[in-house]
């Protein structure tokens, strides 16, 4: 059955498949090539039953290999098997239940992924430990340079002035907060639910002598008080969940000072609303969801915020994930020693499938600039794109 489906489906690119009994079949005519060696006889049946989940599950278990590259195989399959954008009623109900991220569930979800191990993340991230999409202002940038370019791009969109107070919702390993404090001379409060990230970020601020200017709190955005001139959130909104978008933007409104400004950076969909891949939801980001822009705009408006700018970063995360996967593979043995072979394969599939989704799938990154009052903002974007020496010198940034 799988052979027949592949024969009818593969039209873009050339796929070579070796089946468990040893026979090999080639599908497609021309274009990108990929190779698929299926070792476990149970894999075809499982893929036919639930391809969205079982493709990752069977790879994680060692049921198949991709000798010419895992990303290349996933991309070829995605090109030939379009995602159905229509969501059934049961799908909508399931999505709603998955994304009911209460305070307790949010902490559990963060712990599942972000508290794994500092060493794991250091093995594939840039030196400054940014776990979000980089900004390749120049295609020849290193990952370190592109992550610093991202920080600089956000700094300029925030229109920062010396001495202002900034709230960083979902501050991660602390890289952005430290960058803003160091390069804009502002005070930054970072919020995270990850104990590991909080520990590392706090130490980094202290080591850089910025602990009087930057503080990190183990706190949910719904629990935090105080008022800020600027709010920024990078790579955290994907964990909020559609049922909580109103509460999130209400918090932004309540925390912003008059004439305050906020910038939201998050993964989203080019097309209409969809569903989180079930394998990703189970193993990587429980409770996570990448929204369509249409799902974000309405709660922003209802919260009383006005949108000043929307920018779509199309292939930047593709390049980021490609480099993360390359670096992970170079130190793969460390992950195997600490977590086991199945974990290493899980992490490979996570990075490769996400790279493919940004290369030819539905995913992009949105950056939204918004505020309570847009008076006084520059008339053009021109000042966002000037070169700056700090980006070129990013290789020398302290960890």
The residues spanned by each domain of the chain are: 2-80, 102-396
pLDDT above 90: residue 91: no
Question: What digits encode the pLDDT tens for the residues 212-262?
Answer: 999 999 999 999 999 999 999 999 999 999 999 999 999 999 999 999 999
Distances (CA, A) of 43 to 46, 54, 175: 5, 8, 42
Q: What's the confidence (pLDDT) of residue 4? A: 92
* Span 63-83, average pLDDT: 92
Instruction: Report the C-alpha gap between 370 and 303 in whole angstroms.
Output: 11
Q: Could you give the CA distance from residue 355 to residue 158 in angstroms, rounded to a whole number?
A: 28
pLDDT at 390 over 80: no
Whether the predicted pLDDT of 85 surpasses 50: no
> Among 201-210, 333-342, 385-394, which is the least confidently predicted range?
385-394
**Predicted confidence (pLDDT) per residue in 308-332, tens digit:** 999 999 999 999 999 999 999 999 9
Give the separation between CA 125 and CA 174, rounded to whole angstroms: 13
Per-residue pLDDT, averaged over 193-220, amounts to 96
The pair of structure tokens assigned to 128 is 């400054």
> Is the Cβ–Cβ distance between 32 and 76 less than 8 Å?
yes
DSSP conformation class of 292 = B
Which 3 state secondary structure label does DSSP give 85? coil
Q: So what's the pLDDT on residue 376? A: 85
Q: Give me the CATH code for the 102-396 domain, please.
A: 3.40.50.150
Q: Which residue has the tokens 């922003």?
A: 300
* Residue of 133, 151, 251, 354 marked active site: 354
Model pLDDT, residue 389: 53
Which residue intervals of the chain are DSSP H helices?
Answer: 2-9, 43-49, 51-60, 70-80, 89-98, 103-114, 118-122, 143-157, 175-184, 195-207, 245-255, 278-283, 293-302, 316-330, 332-339, 341-360, 389-392
> What is the predicted pLDDT for the residue at 253?
97
> HSE of 205 in the Cβ direction (CA atoms, 13 Å)?
27
Residue 251 annotated in active site: no
Asked whether residue 170 carries a pLDDT value surpassing 70, the answer given is yes
Worst-scoring range by mean pLDDT, 13-22, 108-117, 298-307? 108-117
Q: Residue 116 has what pLDDT?
A: 74
Whether residue 96 has pLDDT greater than 80? no
pLDDT of 29 reads 86
Cβ-contact 355, 318 below 8 angstroms: yes
More confident residue, 254 or 84: 254
**Angstrom distance (rounded) from CA 95 to CA 269:** 15
The pTM of the full predicted model, rounded to 2 decimals, is 0.91
Mean pLDDT in the chain?
Answer: 91
Say yes or no to pLDDT of 394 above 60: no
């Amino acid at each position: 059955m799988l052979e027949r489906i592949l024969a009818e489906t593969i039209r873009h690119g050339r796929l070579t498949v070796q089946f468990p009994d040893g026979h090999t079949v080639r599908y497609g005519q021309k274009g990108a090539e990929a190779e698929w060696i299926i070792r476990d006889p149970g894999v075809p049946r499982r893929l036919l039953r639930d391809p969205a989940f079982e493709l990752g599950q069977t790879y994680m278990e060692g049921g198949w290999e991709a000798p010419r590259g895992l990303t290349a195989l996933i991309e070829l399959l995605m090109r030939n098997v379009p995602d159905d954008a229509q969501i059934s009623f049961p799908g909508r109900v399931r999505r709603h239940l998955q994304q009911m991220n209460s305070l307790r569930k949010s902490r559990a979800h963060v712990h599942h992924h972000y508290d794994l191990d500092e060493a794991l993340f250091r093995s594939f991230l840039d030196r400054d430990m940014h776990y979000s999409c980089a900004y390749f202002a120049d295609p020849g940038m290193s990952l370190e340079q592109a992550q610093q370019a991202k920080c600089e791009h956000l700094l300029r969109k925030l229109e920062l002035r010396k001495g202002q107070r900034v709230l960083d919702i979902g501050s991660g390993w602390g890289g952005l907060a430290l960058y803003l404090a160091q390069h804009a001379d502002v005070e930054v409060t970072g919020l995270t639910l990850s104990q590991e990230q909080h520990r590392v970020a706090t130490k980094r601020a202290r080591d850089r002598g910025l602990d009087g200017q930057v503080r990190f709190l183990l706190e949910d955005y719904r629990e935090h008080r105080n008022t800020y001139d600027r709010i920024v959130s990078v790579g955290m909104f994907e964990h909020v969940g559609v049922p909580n978008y109103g509460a999130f933007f209400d918090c932004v409104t309540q925390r912003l000072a008059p004439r305050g400004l906020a910038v939201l950076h998050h993964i989203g969909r080019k097309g209409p609303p969809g569903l989180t891949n079930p394998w990703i939801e189970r193993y990587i980001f429980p409770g996570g969801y990448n929204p369509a822009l249409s799902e974000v705009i309405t709660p922003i408006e209802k919260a009383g915020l006005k949108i000043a700018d929307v920018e779509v970063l199309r292939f930047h995360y593709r390049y980021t994930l490609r480099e993360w996967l390359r670096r992970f593979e170079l130190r793969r043995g460390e992950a195997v020693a600490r977590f086991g072979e199945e974990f290493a394969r899980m992490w490979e599939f996570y990075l490769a499938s996400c790279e493919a989704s940004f290369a030819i799938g539905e995913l992009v990154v949105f950056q939204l600039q918004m505020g309570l009052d847009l008076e006084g903002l520059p008339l053009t974007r021109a000042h966002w794109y000037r070169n700056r020496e700090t980006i070129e010198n990013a290789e020398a940034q302290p960890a």
